[in-house]
Chain A
Amino acid sequence: MLHVSASPHIRDRVTTRSIMLRVIIALIPVIIASSFIFGLRAPMMFAVSAAAAAGFEAISRVVMKRQQTVGDLSAIVTGLLIAASLPANCPLWVLVIGDFIAIVVVKQMFGGLGDNFANPAVTARIVLSVSFAGQLAGYSVLDKFVSGSGVDLVSSATPLMVAKSGQGALPSVLDLFLGRHAGSIGETCVLALLIGGIFLVISGIIDLWTPLTFIGTTVLFVTLTGQDPFVHLLSGALILAAIFMVTDYVTTPTTIAGKIIFGAGAGLLTGLLRVYSAMPEGVSFAILLMNILTPHIERWTTPKTIGGVKHAGK
């Protein structure tokens, strides 16, 4: 008995799972760097968050009686990104609540991977920062990067806080690049983030339209408003978001023009929030706002099909 199906009869090897696996691999340098900057609590946070996110994904699908999707690894990516965007002093229970919000509320309640309009990790980060301001108030780092000795976590101002308040000393550009300062555990080490980013570009998972326009617009805006571009480029969540958040397939445009609009819009909002709002950082709000605009951007920027003729009505 022969099997019959409609063409094409061959498929590329790339799967949703293989894409997510590559994103996870791209985060490994970040996880390793975090253990040097924030101690072993950082990798533990990544592990707990990934496990919790995967657990929430699996349970959601069982409860909703839908096809099990935990194997596509997207929940693990979300879990890792939530951990990456939180400070080392974040209580684990707050972290797990973040995973719940991301996976259950933002992702699964909207239909699961592909149907969520907002980036689960970004939205969870915002919900946590609003709901648990007290628990997330201080940003800590190993004492050796503050006082020069000691391996305990100590609270310290982030470079963006220093820049905003004008109080305290800014780290050197090298320290900013290597991430040896207070901040969220996955955002400080630009070197590690770039290694992951280059890997994602080489393996064809992401392209550079959104990251470059996002970074470029932010840096341009802060420079024009008289801020130190290096501090804004190399600290805060800018690079983490440029590589892992504004490149999220589901919640950002697919068209090239759309990617440029998204990147520029998110960059402009980030600059505005960083410079003029009460908060030192604005990346997550900027991305969430642009996520909401994404379906519209996609519609405005639909490319004209080659040889297309206009059809009446709509």
Chain B
Amino acid sequence: MMKMNLLGLSRAIHPKDNKNTSGMEIKPISGFSIVTIPLDMQVGPGCEAIVAKGDHVDIGDPLGKPLGPWSVPVHASISGTVESVSVQILSDGGFAEYVTIISDDKQTVSPLVRPPDVHDKQSFLETVRASGLVGLGGAAFPTHIKLNPPPGKTIDTLVVNAAECEPYITVDQQVCLTGADDAVEGALITAKWCEIDTVIFGIEDNKKEAARALKKAVERARQSAMWPSGGVSVKVLPTAYPTGAEKVLIRLLNGRIVPEGGLPADVGVIVQNLMTLHFIASHMKTGMPLIKKAITLDGSAVNSPGNFEVPIGSSIEDVIEKAGGTKTAPFKIIMGGPMMGVSVDDISRPILKHNNAILVFDDKDAVLPEESACILCGRCQRACPMQLMPSALDKAARAHNPNELTQLHVMNCIECGSCTYVCPAKRYLVQNIRNGKAMVRAAAAASREKGEKS
């Protein structure tokens, strides 16, 4: 591929998009005999178990009670008997309670599942929270918190993130093709109860069909009583990574700059993933909490890549098996996209609320490159969507210099990984920058402690 860059201005990268599953229907997979559901699948504290071994649960029954105002409940994704409640290590190294349910093969839905009564902002936020919803784009930020910014922040724009800029993943575009009306309705409901007057959908131009479907759905919604005063628009953006990163997407859609250390709410914007809003619309109709997830299954080691809907808590191993198995031994498994996804240590790990892909790679596609000296080529700097100096941050992090890291604005890094992707010396830039952020946080905490003592 030609990569002419006469002026050296890009602030983005263009990895091969590998949307092999583009246009593939999201097939439901059922018949799982066992699920293991972690009670912590979100940013902030999760839940504490309210079920015990031997209890019978139906689909949609809550399994845990929230541990704090940020926590959202977790629900049973199959009906059956609780086999165990145990503390296990999470993929990210933390610990959480896991509830294991053995299926009774009946798929009985709990009587607790019924359409919610929403009549004002408060009841809307409570409903969203009770549904167990977290940001489905991958970040797992509790939606009821995001939709309720601190007092003093006026939100005028709801940005709907349909960019899906990570390679491989195609479930969002598939939802545009088959469920655009629900996605638009979810946006309108959210805008209505959260008193937001403008809605902007952002989608990349490598998904033309999906963008068209979205535009048509928006046209159809024009008659809706919920149509916001500022209107609803669909903006098609050039395909580039990381268009779907919150701060980047806002900048591209309405030109507002989220300040370093700030949130979109600081510039009057809330960003929600398309899937999150799609879920809100269907939840309002049925009351069914978040118990299943659409994922793209792809990667060099799987037999038949595709899009599937699977119960939360089903193991990656079972999902791969039911979806056609692997052609070679899996060497690396990634939850999410290849740029920001998390590699899992065990194939028995469960599907989580915020998973949007399972990528299974063979040994050829998972080789870790050996790093060599930085040649100061500036590629990382040109790729950085935040206009940081990744190579300088990398050096400051390796030198354990929190002061230098702060001066270089390390906390403005969104960890998109573009710098590491483009580095010809194969340096582990974003990985070291993440460590650098931890150093700055630790230094800040230490100086606070010192201040309190004196």
Contacts and interface: CB of A to CB of B under 8 A. Distances in A.
A148 interface: no
A35 to B, nearest CB: 30
Contact of A204 (B4, B338, B344): B4
Contact of A4 (B345, B376, B418): B345
B417 interface: yes
Contacts, number: 174
Nearest to A259: B8
A111 B247 CA distance: 39
Chain B CB within 10 Å, residue with most, of A6, A69, A115, A250: A6
A7 B167 contact: no
Interface residues of A, number: 49
Contact of A7 (B3, B8, B341, B407): B341
B408 to A, nearest CB: 8
B234 interface: no
Given A19-B424, A204-B3, 16 more contacts: A4-B332, A6-B434, A7-B342, A9-B359, A12-B422, A16-B425, A19-B377, A69-B372, A201-B4, A204-B5, A207-B7, A255-B381, A302-B389, A307-B258, A308-B409, A314-B407
A10 interface: yes
Contacts of A9: 332, 334, 338-339, 341, 343, 359, 361, 366
A167 interface: no
B9 interface: yes
A168 B260 CA distance: 64
B406 A311 contact: yes
Interface in B371-426: 372-379, 381, 385-389, 391-392, 403, 406-407, 409, 412, 417-418, 420-426
Among A9, A203, A209, A249, residue most surrounded by chain B Cβ atoms (within 10 Å): A9
Contacts of B418: 8
Given A4-B344, A204-B4, A305-B388, A16 B375 contact: yes
A3 B247 contact: no
Contact of A305 (B332, B361, B409): B409
8 contacts: A7-B342, A8-B339, A10-B421, A114-B373, A209-B7, A255-B381, A305-B387, A308-B259
A74 B425 CA distance: 12
Q: Which of B334, B392, B409 has the largest number of chain A CB atoms within 10 A?
A: B409
Contact of A11 (B369, B375, B387): B369
A2 B417 contact: no
Interface string B151-188: 00000000000000001000000000000000000000
B4 A5 contact: no
A208 interface: yes
Given A6-B434, A9-B332, A307-B247, A114 B406 contact: no
A16 B5 contact: no
Contacts of B261: 309
B262 interface: yes
A259 B8 CA distance: 11
A39 interface: no
A207 B3 CA distance: 11
Contacts of B3: 203-204
B424 A15 contact: yes
Interface string A181-224: 00000000000000000000111100111000000000000000
A306 interface: yes
- Counting from the closest, the 3 A-B pairs by CB-CB distance are A254-B378, A8-B417, A204-B3
Name the residue among A11, A250, A306 with the largest chain B CB count within 10 angstroms: A306
Contact of A5 (B6, B343, B406, B421): B343
A74 B376 CA distance: 13
B420 A8 contact: yes
Interface in B345-383: 345-347, 359, 361, 366, 368-369, 372-379, 381
A2 B330 contact: yes
Contacts of B420: 8, 11
A72 B426 CA distance: 13
A113 B424 CA distance: 13
Contacts of B376: 114, 249-250, 254
Contact of B8 (A209, A250, A311): A209
B340 A8 contact: yes
Nearest to A8: B417
Given A12-B13, A113-B373, A307 B4 contact: no
